[in-house]
Amino acid sequence: MRNARADAFENTPRDVIATGNDYPPHYVLATHSHRRGQLLYASTGVLTTITSEGSWVVPPRRALWIPAGIAHEVHMGGPVATRSVYVTPDAALAAGLPGRCQVIAVSPLLHELLQEAVDLPAEYDLDGRDGRVMTLLLEEIRRMPTLPLSAPLPHEKRLASLCRELLDRPSQEVKIDDMARHAGMSRRHFTRTFRDETGMSFTAWRQQACLLAALTRLGNGEPITQVAVELGYGSPSAFTAAFRRVLGAAPSRYLATPTA
């Protein structure tokens, strides 16, 4: 099903349903949730999903698993084409799908299964080819490795507010002392609380926020030099080194569309 509203088929008598949608640049899906788990696949473009737990960036040919009932908002970095798979909680549990939001890799096989699934009828034949496509689709989702493309949000209200602001305007130049002062905490209390709340040091979290923002901007075609400078890196080479260290490849290679 293409360009269909998710709530139009929540009660469809199938455990797995797939849809495809196209969105214009900078389109925002306001906070919502589904009774089914959702695999949100960025076929083209880069999107960002935000929940109370954190922020996840999904580059082209990657996907985000969102368990049932999780309230989330979705921001399109540019023009985005998505493929979504909606899975009932019981089927997700039986398939061994995760209980938390995770960005996953998408294999060539999973990509083709997603492309095929969106063209199946809503009430496809469970015992025929279409049913086998959906069964294999769930198995392939389960097999995919997770990717480090998230920045967790603290629950402490002052820290959560500051982190949301930093996600909106990330920079390597934001200092721990400034964050602590704005939070009304001593440096020691801030660093300890931040690590307890997020599982990361503030320095590591700040870098993660910058790299996630860079993925969106580079995916929209902005020059790497401009992105590096505006995010507070000393040079494009310093930015590229940080990107490669965290994500395992240089930006151009990471954002390249897989061919096989």
> pLDDT class for 4, splitting at 50, 70, 90?
low
Q: Per-residue pLDDT tens for 12-35? A: 999 999 999 999 999 999 999 999
* Beta-carbon count within 10 A of 204 CB: 14
> Residues near 244 by Cβ (< 8 Å), separated by ≥ 6?
250
Please name which of 21, 99, 36 lies closest in space to residue 68, comparing C-alpha atoms. Answer: 36
Over residues 182-208, mean pLDDT: 96
CATH number of the 153-255 domain: 1.10.10.60
> Residues near 169 by Cβ (< 8 Å), separated by ≥ 6?
none
Over residues 198-221, mean pLDDT: 94
pTM of the model: 0.91
CATH number of the 6-147 domain: 2.60.120.810
The two tokens of residue 158 are 């002052």
The ranges of the chain annotated as CATH 2.60.120.810 are 6-147
pLDDT at 260 over 70: no
> Residues near 161 by Cβ (< 8 Å), separated by ≥ 6?
none
Over residues 46-57, mean pLDDT: 96
The ranges of the chain annotated as CATH 1.10.10.60 are 153-255
